[in-house]
Structure 1
Amino acid sequence: MSICFIFSFFMFFMSLFLFFVSLYFMMMDLVLILEYELMNLNSNLVFMSILLDWMSLFFMSFVLFISSMVIYYSMEYMQGDMNMNRFILLIFLFVMSMMFLIISPNLISILLGWDGLGLVSYCLVIYYQNIKSLNAGMLTALSNRVGDVGILLSIAWMMNYGSWNFIFYLDFMKDDFNMKIISYFIILSALTKSAQIPFSSWLPAAMAAPTPVSSLVHSSTLVTAGVYLLIRFNFCFNLDLMYYLLFISMMTMFMSGLGANFEFDLKKIIALSTLSQLGLMMSILFLGDYKLAFFHLLSHALFKALLFMCAGCMIHNLLNNQDIRLMGSLIYSMPMTCTFFNISNFSLCGFPFLAGFYSKDLILEIFSMGYMNMFVYLIFYISIGLTVSYSFRLSYYTLFGSFNFNSLFNLSDYGFVMLKGMAGLIFLVIFGGSFLSWLMFSSPVYINLSLNLKMMVIMLILIGLILGYEFSKFGYYDELKSKNYYYSNLFIFSMFNLPILSTYFINYYFLKFSNFYYKSVDLGWFEYFGSQNLFSNIIINSKYLQVLLNNNLKIYFILFIIIVFFMII
């Protein structure tokens, strides 16, 4: 029995157990905090704390369920890999770090889980050892280090309270200066982990990891850690701060939705869609509804994991090719995978009665009932339209367009283990949203909107469909048009130049200055006033002395004659 099957089996049963425990906690309205004192340092108690409430147990059960399906799926996807066991153990470590983060009400134990995620994600991104993976891994690791420093600084500031159990201080210390500083650092950490502007560039770069890893990272682990942390800390944000952060998260949602419409890499499109959904979660969180953000976090985890698994199946079948322009008509050769892919895509768009619909529609309607300004309203709805646009474009290229790969090619749904892994998720993608809404919201949410606002979502979806169809008209062999299309949209292609700002902007000027310093100072003036000049002076003096020593008899006679001459005078 392989290590994949053992881990998958264990995680599946743990997820079922935690799900039923979370239902019990939810019904009984229980919160359980377990504390174990590790050490006492000048009246600062360092505890190992565990927080168990319905939210943490629910999230853990979802993470474990998705992980079990992904590990089962990896049995076939990573078949023939030389380091299969190492890969599975790294994924297990990754999931355990996330578990540690979810159950921690204590900043020190959160840091352990947070840093564990950062370190293991680096190991997974550079799993295929080439220069692209190394660059992506370094960008991922260094972007996340900013967040780690934010948590370290908040730990330092929390020493003023005498304990690092933030859960006790959030609500009633809201207006305290220390808690404000801590909340700023926590927000900085969450923005880096959840890849909000200006830290967005690492998320599409992290696509260098194997597809099962991408499926885990983008659904329920690494990128959702920041959102989950902010859900836990949401009580300590003041209104002004929340408006600023709402603007940041909305611009992230808009930017990634726009960028996905111009991208041709299958995995990058899905990565940008994750970024868009993270922006949506953050937006509703900063509008003050943390429960709704958590609801969308869970429903998004389901369909995004399945979306990546279907993409992995397609890439696997097309000899590791990721360019959507080369795909097409896959629905005839891979009907089962394409069915799963389409259902996930519909769920992402918010198609009625799928998982994504319940959270997304509720978010938009509750938002429409509020009193936000026109700019926020337009950005929100345009972003929803863009989601439909890139989803339709993706479906058109992969499922319905013309097949542009090798003319003699055999494609089929032969990966039965991969199909079983995906089939485990499809039921939750279809029914998950409805049972989550029944469980999480004990009383129905009353929505009171005018007909115009109610129809706004449908109008934007239809406009998005038309846009997606228009964007799909660019063929692979229309080279000139494709190049003009690329250069004219370079700003959007490059995510508002964020990858350039994160890499070139940070490296270039320092490297240029160091080159100048090396040539002009190190090899220039320092050499002249330092070792080189000293060396040349010693050589000149030694040459002079050498002349004296080699000709000492002549010099002796000349000196003798000069002395005699002076004596005579």
Structure 2
Amino acid sequence: MLLNLKFYYISSLFLFMMSVFFLFFGISFMVVEKTIFIEWEFFSIQSLSVVMTLLFDWMSMMFLSCVLFISSMVVMYSSDYMKGDMNIIRFVLLVLMFVFSMSMLIISPNLISILLGWDGLGLVSYCLVIYYQNVKSFNAGMLTALSNRVGDVAILMSIAWMLNFGSWNYIFYMDYMFNNKDMWLISGFIILAGMTKSAQIPFSAWLPAAMAAPTPVSSLVHSSTLVTAGVYLLIRFSPIITGGIFWNFLFFISVLTMFMAGLGANFEFDLKKIIALSTLSQLGVMMSILSLGYPLLSFFHLLTHAMFKALLFLCAGCMIHSIKDWQDIRSLGCMGLMMPLTSSCFNVANLALCGMPFLAGFYSKDLILEVLEMSFLNVLMFILYFISTGLTVCYSFRLVFYSMMGDLNLMSYSSLHDDSFKMSWPMIFLSLMGIMVGSIMSWMMFSSMELICLPFYLKLLTLFVCLVGAWMGLEINQLKIFMQSMFLKSEMMISFMGSMWFMPFLSSQNTMKNPLEQGNYYMKSMDFGWSEYLSAQGLYMNLYSLSKSTQLFQDNSIKIYFMTFMLWVMVIFFIMSMF
């Protein structure tokens, strides 16, 4: 046990030191506008070179620092959260492999080296989702793996199409791909890959299902690694996406994803799934502002969101751990008195998610909404965007209402306390980052003076939507009897909105089930049927029967030879009698 703890501490300390190292170099590269490009050539065939490429610029280093910092906090947190696990070293190794795969994806400007990190994320995430080996985890892992394989195939198709260029360093061909309309296929494949990895409609079902993984893994996956990989890839490819033929489509899908996730979170009672749906909503925010042509804003929100979302998952995991692995928010209550430190960090993360002024989420979300108000949008998308923002505040205050107000509705022997040193310190560090990282990053990334001029009513629209959302979140839960009687009259509509627009049923029962059944049918009829009969097994059986017949002639039996001789005599006599 002592050896396991030392491995945890060494891993956490190493990740933290690497985070500080990349943060220092990221800031210095940002100030002097420097980029390091490293390339190893494996082999070349005529004009085609297969190379391993690494790109170190301020964006990759800042994101790498964010990923490593959250990973170090998650590993430290896991040393106490997973202490009852028999295979605790295996868990840490899987997390480290996951972080390594994400790091490979971040620093790769080459589609070949991106594929290593991209597939590594998919494989290791499957191992982590099925870590608790039960039927629910296996189903969730299969749904996650099969959904992400669509994006993997899109990356492979992009690699095949980029053979036309003679190299896979896409960073050199951005201008050519944007101006050459024959290359629109690459942007379409990259958008498809980003949509699957970041769980946009219609690939949204796997993200809440991946909550079957341990809570520290959920904190890492849903804040800065797996689900943001698609957004980061699209940020890198933003020159050929913004202004292309797909950007309107991407904006429409991302706003629909925001709206769907906000609605679903307001009808959900599973604590981890509510936070997962809030992640889905914020991914829609990143995708939407990216499709409008603001990749820096999308990256800024990605960094700030990673901090407070990791904190939100760690606080939720601490609550779940204390109440004996129970996740229903209707059983929570009065957490502020029994777990004051966890509740304080939880409320900081929730308020940052809502865009509370001067917290991390405020600097990115308020800027995104004001830039959106200056953009040329139709009325429907504008209204849906602000309704989705109000729904974010609504489910956040709903979560606060259930967890902090009233009495605890669980069994009396639950041990609720904040005594765990290893689980408290990561939450404190992430709380400080959730408060400070927004202002610090806004000063560094947007150092030039830019002014947003809006009418007074549009300037106050964001504040008004947030206040109405908070009021609705509290009122809906206080008027329980009235709301339940009203909801029962529209049961089909409520089941539609509360189940992510039936997307999990479509993904698991039709989209996944029917192709698998068809594949099983063709495997039995073709691979194990006619192809076996006409090729390998059929040839074997024919040769086997021929060898049995020839074996009779090789037994040196006089009876066989005599019978064969008499048979030939009779045949010859019969033929002669015909003439």
The two structures have a TM-score, normalised by structure 1, of 0.88
The letter of the residue matching 1:16 is V
Structure 1 residue 2: Cα displacement: 1.6
**Cα 1:121–1:520 shift into 2, 3 Å:** closer
State the partner residue of 2:370: 365
Specify the SS of the correspondent of 1:404: coil
State the partner residue of 2:271: 266
Residues 325 and 475 of structure 1 are in contact (CA less than 8 Å); yes or no, is this contact kept in structure 2? Answer: no
Structure 1 residue 42: Cα displacement: 3.0
Structure 1 residue 349: Cα displacement: 0.2
Structure 1 residue 178: Cα displacement: 4.6
The match for 1:166 among 154, 163, 170 is 170
The match for 2:65 among 54, 58, 61 is 61
Ranges of 4+ aligned residues in structure 1 off by more than 4 Å: 478-488, 507-521
Residues 313 and 418 of structure 1 are in contact (CA less than 8 Å); yes or no, is this contact kept in structure 2? Answer: yes
State the partner residue of 2:40: 36
Structure 1 residue 472: Cα displacement: 1.8
Distance in 2, Cα, partners of 1:487 & 1:286:
34
State the partner residue of 1:504: 509
Structure 1 residue 321: Cα displacement: 0.3
State the partner residue of 1:131: 135
Distance in 2, Cα, partners of 1:60 & 1:513:
42
The match for 1:455 among 451, 460, 467 is 460
| Residue 338 (structure 2) pairs with residue 341 (structure 1) | no
Structure 1 residue 444: Cα displacement: 2.9
| Residue 231 (structure 2) pairs with residue 227 (structure 1) | yes
State the partner residue of 2:360: 355
**Cα 1:230–1:413 shift into 2, 3 Å:** same
Structure 1 residue 516: Cα displacement: 10
Residues 158 and 178 of structure 1 are in contact (CA less than 8 Å); yes or no, is this contact kept in structure 2? Answer: no
Distance in 2, Cα, partners of 1:519 & 1:145:
24
State the partner residue of 1:314: 319
Distance in 1, Cα, partners of 2:85 & 2:40:
42
State the partner residue of 1:469: 474
| Residue 119 (structure 2) pairs with residue 100 (structure 1) | no
| Residue 9 (structure 2) pairs with residue 5 (structure 1) | yes
Q: Which runs of 5+ in 1 are unaligned?
A: 522-569
The letter of the residue matching 2:500 is M
Q: Kindly provide the CA deviation profile for residues 118-167 of structure 1, in whole angstroms up to 9, marking residues without a partner as x.
A: 00000000000000000000000000000000000000000000000000
State the partner residue of 1:552: none
Q: Kindly provide the CA deviation profile for residues 382-436 of structure 1, in whole angstroms up to 9, marking residues without a partner as x.
A: 0110000000000000111331101344311122210011111111101110000
**Cα 1:286–1:516 shift into 2, 3 Å:** closer
**Cα 1:510–1:371 shift into 2, 3 Å:** closer
Specify the SS of the correspondent of 1:80: coil
Map 1:349-428 onto structure 2 (within 5 A).
349-428=354-433
Specify the SS of the correspondent of 2:268: coil
Specify the SS of the correspondent of 1:325: helix
Specify the SS of the correspondent of 1:2: helix
Distance in 2, Cα, partners of 1:146 & 1:223:
15
Farther off after superposition, 501-510 or 326-335: 501-510
State the partner residue of 1:183: 187
Residues 59 and 298 of structure 1 are in contact (CA less than 8 Å); yes or no, is this contact kept in structure 2? Answer: yes
Distance in 2, Cα, partners of 1:176 & 1:474:
58
**Cα 1:512–1:211 shift into 2, 3 Å:** closer
The two structures have a TM-score, normalised by structure 2, of 0.87
The letter of the residue matching 1:466 is W
Q: Kindly provide the CA deviation profile for residues 306-325 of structure 1, in whole angstroms up to 9, marking residues without a partner as x.
A: 00000000000010000000
Residues 31 and 52 of structure 1 are in contact (CA less than 8 Å); yes or no, is this contact kept in structure 2? Answer: yes
State the partner residue of 1:207: 211
Distance in 2, Cα, partners of 1:323 & 1:469:
18
Q: Kindly provide the CA deviation profile for residues 66-113 of structure 1, in whole angstroms up to 9, marking residues without a partner as x.
A: 100010000100012101000000000000000000000000000000
Distance in 2, Cα, partners of 1:455 & 1:59:
32
Residues 324 and 414 of structure 2 are in contact (CA less than 8 Å); yes or no, is this contact kept in structure 1? Answer: no
Distance in 2, Cα, partners of 1:398 & 1:24:
43
Map 1:436-455 onto structure 2 (within 5 A).
436-455=441-460
Q: Kindly provide the CA deviation profile for residues 42-76 of structure 1, in whole angstroms up to 9, marking residues without a partner as x.
A: 32101110001100000000100010001000010
Residues 8 and 92 of structure 2 are in contact (CA less than 8 Å); yes or no, is this contact kept in structure 1? Answer: yes
State the partner residue of 2:260: 255
**Cα 1:359–1:507 shift into 2, 3 Å:** closer
